[in-house]
C-alpha cells in the first residue's frame, strides 16, 4: 500500500511538473508575441509625428510628365541648377539608397543665400500603388535662421499624372512644423516658414517646368 501511494504521488508530481513547464513555455511565448507584430519597413514613414498639422503650401498642374518631373529629385544637373537659382548654395545631395523594395532615402545639405543659415534635409520617396505617381516626404532642419532655429519643417509632395491634358502632372505640397524648443516668436516664425516655403516651391517648380519644356522644344 505504501509503495502504491508513493508511486501515485510520484505520478502526480510528474504530471504537475509537466503542466507547470507547459505553462511557463506558454508564458514565454505570450511575452514574445508582440515582436512579430511590429510594422514592416515599408510601413515606416519619415513623417512619423501624427500630431503635426499639415497645411497645403503649394499646388499646381505642370506641363511635364510625372516621371520627367522626378528628374528634379535625381541629384543630377537639373536639380543642382534649379536649387541654386532658388537660393540654395553648396547644394549637396547623397545618392538614393533603398530602405525596402518600394522606398528610397537620401540626405541633402545646403546654405540659404536669401535668408542666411544652413539646412540639412532627409528625404524618402516611394511610388504610388496602382497610380502613375510618386510621394516624396522631407524633413528639414534649419540652423542660423532667425526665429526658425528651433523648428523642424516637414513637407509631403504628392505628384501624379493627370488626365486634364497629355504629358502633364499635378503636384500638391503639404507642410507641417515640429517645434523642437519653445520660442516667443513661434507665430511669426510659422508665418515666415509658410510664406518662404510657398515662394521657394513656386520658384523651384516654375523653373523645373521651364527647363523640361525647353528640352521638348529642342527635340
pLDDT above 90 covers a percentage of the chain that reads 50
Compute CA distances 44 → 40, 93, 100, 105, 130, whole Å.
7, 22, 10, 12, 20
Comparing 119 with 9, which gets the higher pLDDT?
Answer: 119
Comparing 94 with 29, which gets the higher pLDDT?
Answer: 94
Local confidence band at 50 (pLDDT 50, 70, 90 cut-offs): low
Instruction: Report, as an integer, the average pLDDT of 70-84.
Output: 97
pLDDT for residue 33 is more than 60: no
DSSP 165-209: STT-EEEEEEEEEEESS--TTHHHHHHHHHHHHHHHHHHHHHHHH
Of 40-54, 101-115, 156-170, 187-201, which gets the smallest average pLDDT? Answer: 40-54
* Mean of pLDDT over the chain: 79
Class of domain 46-218: alpha beta
144-158, pLDDT tens digit by residue?
Answer: 766 555 678 999 999
pLDDT for residue 20 is more than 80: no
Of 34-43, 89-98, 121-130, 194-203, which gets the smallest average pLDDT? Answer: 34-43
Amino acid at each position: 500500500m505504501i509503495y502504491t501511494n508513493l508511486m501515485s504521488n510520484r505520478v502526480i508530481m510528474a504530471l504537475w511538473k509537466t503542466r507547470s513547464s507547459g505553462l511557463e513555455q506558454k508564458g514565454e511565448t505570450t511575452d514574445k508575441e508582440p515582436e512579430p507584430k511590429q510594422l514592416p519597413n515599408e510601413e515606416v514613414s519619415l513623417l512619423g509625428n501624427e500630431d503635426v498639422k499639415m497645411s497645403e503650401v503649394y499646388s499646381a498642374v505642370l506641363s511635364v510628365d510625372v516621371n520627367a518631373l522626378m528628374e528634379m529629385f535625381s541629384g543630377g544637373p537639373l536639380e543642382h541648377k534649379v536649387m541654386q537659382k532658388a537660393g540654395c548654395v553648396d547644394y549637396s545631395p547623397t545618392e538614393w539608397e533603398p530602405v525596402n523594395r518600394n522606398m528610397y532615402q537620401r540626405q541633402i545639405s545646403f546654405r540659404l543665400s536669401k535668408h542666411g543659415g544652413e539646412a540639412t534635409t532627409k528625404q524618402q520617396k516611394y511610388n504610388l500603388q496602382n497610380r502613375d505617381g510618386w510621394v516624396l516626404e522631407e524633413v528639414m532642419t534649419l540652423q542660423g535662421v532667425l526665429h526658425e532655429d528651433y523648428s523642424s519643417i516637414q513637407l509631403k509632395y504628392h505628384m501624379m499624372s493627370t488626365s486634364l491634358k497629355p504629358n502633364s502632372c499635378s503636384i500638391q505640397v503639404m507642410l507641417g512644423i515640429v517645434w523642437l524648443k519653445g520660442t516667443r516668436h513661434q507665430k511669426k516664425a510659422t508665418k515666415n516658414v509658410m510664406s518662404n516655403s510657398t515662394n521657394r516651391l513656386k520658384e523651384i517648380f516654375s523653373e523645373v517646368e521651364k527647363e523640361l519644356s525647353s528640352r521638348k522644344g529642342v527635340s
